[in-house]
Structure 1
Amino acid sequence: MRMEAEFIQEYTPELSAELLKILEAVLEEAAKTENVTGEVTVTFVDDERIHELNREYRGIDRPTDVLSFAMNEQGEEELEIISEEDMPNMLGDIVISVPRAREQAEEYGHSFEREIGFLVAHGFLHLLGYDHETEAEEKEMFSRQEEILNRVQLVRE
């Protein structure tokens, strides 16, 4: 099995098929880099919706750029009902604010494609347990993101 991605576009205007192909390549490269297979859902929303989710699930009352909801949390026990061969490896959900991605692309001086690719890679790594609470964690996570984005040619302009 390889990496499977489902894209849900709650935000309009919708992202182009071409951009979704690029984001699929980002996820494929991230999975290859991390040596994982599985399924991920990426949902594109507006600031209002991500604000609601951030408040509800993280207790933070403001919009953000990306949220990750891991299905296989580290350290949690799983009940085995059927064999793992029969179950897909659901890594989790990534939610991205499209307006926030556009603002950040402009603020950082690079393309929207690069910014949204960064957010997809960032969210994916969070699903795998990466974090950036400490300087060392941030350095590791951000270097992985850059490695993934460079491999799919989403470089800073």
Structure 2
Amino acid sequence: MSIEIANESGVDVDTDAILAVARHALDEMGVNPLAELSILLVDLEYMTELNHRWMDGDGPTDVLAFPMDEGSVDHGPGEGAGTEPTLLGDIVLCPEVAAKQAGNVGHSTADELHLLTVHGVLHLLGYDHAEPEEEREMFGLQARLLSGWQAKNTGRASDGQPGAVGPV
């Protein structure tokens, strides 16, 4: 699994942990190990621009997901794993928005960034939360993935619920 990460936010974050939680989510979801993912951390100004341009939103948001080939995600042997790498897409995170949300819900900025990373991965895999049933499925899966990762890496579990996940 190839995951590239770039921190252009100006905020010091643990990119190794973000990579680890993304890899955990992709592994747990059975995504082909040849898949490629890009994660970009940006500042408020750039996130505001992206949110306006691509989501027609006002102001910055916490996470955006840009799938490359929505219909061609190879989830592994059960779906006939290919030998060519699959470009999953890009996840864009804004640590400053994550910090504000973390404060509002009472957990750390790192925990919020981990949650947003898993949220972005699920969007790249085709999950959505526009309808109540979709929201229950996506957030339930998000909670399970986060809890499993946190139990394995930090010795604690999370409820996996979003602080205030914005439009993605």
Q: TM class, shorter-chain normalised?
A: 0.7 to 0.9
Q: Report how many aligned residue pairs link the two structures.
A: 142
Partner of residue 65 from structure 2, selected from 51, 65, 68: 68
Q: SS of the residue aligned with 2:70? A: coil
Shift of 1:58: 1.6
Q: Is 1:92 matched up with 2:95?
A: no
C-alpha deviation, 1:43, in angstroms: 0.4
Gaps of 5+ in 2: 73-81, 151-156, 160-168
Q: What TM-score, normalized to structure 2?
A: 0.79
Partner of 1:9: 7
> Residues 32-85 of structure 1: CA distance to partner in whole angstroms, max 9, x if unpaired?
22110311111001111111011111222321110000001238xxxxxxxx63
Partners of 1:148 and 1:136 lie apart in 2 by 18
CA contact (8 A) 2:95 2:109 kept: no
Question: Which of 112, 122, 125 does residue 115 from structure 1 map onto?
Answer: 112
Q: Structure 1, residues 106-146: CA drift from partner, whole Å, max 9, x if none?
A: 10101111100000000010001100001110011011111
What one-letter code is carried by the residue in structure 2 that aligns with 1:8?
A
Report the 3-state secondary structure (helix = DSSP H, G, I; strand = E; otherwise coil) of the residue aligned with 2:31.
coil
Counterpart of 1:151, as a letter, is G
**Runs of 4+ more than 3 Å apart:** none
* In structure 2, distance between residues paired with 1:28 and 1:11: 21
Mark the runs of 5 or more structure 1 residues left unpaired by the alignment. Answer: 76-83
For 2:43, the equivalent position in structure 1 comes to: 46
In structure 2, what is the equivalent of residue 124 of structure 1? 121
C-alpha contact 2:41 2:94 (8 A) present in aligned 1: yes
Which residue number corresponds to residue 20 of structure 2?
25
Partner-residue secondary structure (3-state), 1:36: coil
Q: Which whole-Å deviations, capped at 9, do the CAs of 1:8-31 have from their partners, x for residues lacking one?
A: 11111332xxx2222222112211
The RMSD of aligned alpha carbons is: 1.6
SS of structure 2 residue aligned to 1:146: helix
1:43 match: secondary structure:
strand
